[in-house]
């Protein structure tokens, strides 16, 4: 299990990006809530760039073809771009903008 790390101060959307820590991303808790017309994916953990505690919610519309079935969705891999939504203030962030401005991709295997 990855030990929590102290938040790293940095500017918003730092370029070049800080070092990505895959072990931090891999430790995130991912939940999927499915309804007939929507799948909602929640990623909760620490940002692999700034280590701030973050929670990101991604909604996917599902197009049903018949009761209980979906067309082109619901099976296979789904790539989701996750954005940091930590509550820390990052220098240069637009007013009201949460997170460090960095994003990363996770792949979900849908059965």
Alpha-carbon distance of 21 to 9, in angstroms, equals: 15
Alpha-carbon distance of 7 to 23, in angstroms, equals: 15
pLDDT tier for residue 10 given thresholds of 50, 70 and 90: confident
Give the model confidence (pLDDT) of 17-36 as tens digits.
888 888 888 888 989 898 87
Residues spanned by the domain of 35: 22-110
Report if residue 45 sits inside a domain: yes
Report if residue 3 sits inside a domain: no
Alpha-carbon distance of 28 to 34, in angstroms, equals: 19
What pLDDT, on a 0 to 100 scale, did the predictor assign at position 65? 62
Q: Are 75 and 109 in contact (CB under 8 A)?
A: no
Distances 47 to 15, 28, 39, 68, 72 between C-alpha atoms, Å:
16, 9, 23, 35, 31
Report if residue 53 sits inside a domain: yes
pLDDT tier for residue 1 given thresholds of 50, 70 and 90: very low
Count up the domains in the chain and report the number: 1
Give the model confidence (pLDDT) of 59-87 as tens digits.
988 776 655 554 555 557 788 899 999 99
């Amino acid at each position: 299990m990855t030990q929590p790390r102290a938040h790293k101060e940095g500017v918003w959307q730092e370029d070049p990006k800080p070092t990505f820590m895959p072990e931090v991303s891999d430790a995130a808790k991912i939940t999927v809530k499915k309804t007939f017309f929507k799948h909602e994916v929640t990623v909760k953990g620490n940002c692999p760039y700034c280590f701030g505690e973050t929670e990101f919610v991604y909604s996917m519309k599902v197009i049903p073809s018949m009761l209980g079935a979906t067309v082109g969705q619901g099976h296979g891999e789904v790539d989701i771009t996750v954005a940091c939504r930590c509550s820390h203030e990052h220098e240069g962030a637009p007013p009201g903008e949460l997170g460090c401005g960095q994003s990363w991709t996770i792949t979900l295997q849908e059965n």
